[in-house]
Amino acid sequence: MTTLRIPISAELDEFLAREVAARGYANAGEYVQALLSREKDLATLRGTLLAGAESPLSPIAADAAYFEGLRQRARQWAVESGGESR
């Protein structure tokens, strides 16, 4: 395993300590590993989704307009279901 040293501000250090305690991690390293693992999974998912959307078998064009439409529908759904919208 590789050790990584990252300087962070006092404000981020306090935030990190609160998150570690609140989320039940053993230490800051475990928390950061979980964050990085989640980001890696999201990047893989994004790549898979985009590859599928760009497939010649896909009936839709996954362009900026398509994703904006998804965002608008999600916001509308949140409003209709009692959630908040940004």
* Predicted confidence (pLDDT) per residue in 2-60, tens digit: 999 999 999 999 999 999 999 999 999 999 999 999 999 999 999 998 888 777 776 77
Between 69 and 62, the higher pLDDT residue: 69
Average pLDDT over residues 60-84: 85
Question: Greater confidence, 75 or 56?
Answer: 75
13/47 same-domain check: yes
Judgement on whether residues 36 and 63 belong to the same structural domain of the protein = no
Residue 2 lies in a domain: no
pTM > 0.85: no
pLDDT at 84: 59
Q: Are residues 47 and 66 in the same domain?
A: no
* Structure tokens that stand for 58 in this block: 């896909």
- Is 72 a member of any domain? yes
Q: What integer pLDDT is reported at residue 83 of this predicted model?
A: 66
Domain residue limits at 29: 9-55
pLDDT number for residue 1: 86
Domain contains 22: yes
Nearest to 16 by CA among 38, 33, 39: 33
Q: How many domains does the chain have?
A: 2
Q: 20 and 44 share a domain?
A: yes
28, 47: one domain:
yes
Q: What are the structure tokens assigned to 48, written together?
A: 């898979």
Q: Which long-range contacts (CB under 8 A, 24 or more apart) does 14-21 make?
A: none
Hey, CA dihedral for 6, 11, 15, 17, is it positive or negative?
Answer: positive
